[in-house]
Amino acid sequence: MITTENNFTDRQLDRIIEMAWEDRTPFDAIAAQFNLKEQEVIVLMRRTLKPKSFRRWRARVQGRKTKHKKLYLHTEHRFKCSRQGRINQNRISKRS
């Protein structure tokens, strides 16, 4: 069996779990940052989450295009608000 969680601090484990739960974070990003393959992330999640939480996460992630870069089409773009161009440094510019 793979024992990956012993190599990480609590903060790193929290970040890996957070990234695994995020819809738009692919497993490739986790691999690049923490050197964990998809199967290792699954094992880590199985060991750290409660059984029901793990089943819920697994059902959510399985087959999701955004979690697997090969399935995700790069032509798909995220929604952009019409006012987003006017947002500067976390402030919406004042209207005249």
Average pLDDT of each block of 10 consecutive residues along the chain (96 residues)? 66 93 88 93 95 94 72 53 52 52
CA pair distance 14, 40, nearest whole angstrom: 15
Distance of CA 91 to the CA centre of its chain: 27
Looking at residue 1, what is its pLDDT?
40
Looking at residue 41, what is its pLDDT?
94
Looking at residue 79, what is its pLDDT?
54
Looking at residue 57, what is its pLDDT?
93
Structure tokens at 38: 């998809």
CB 86 within 8 A of CB 93: yes
CA pair distance 19, 1, nearest whole angstrom: 23
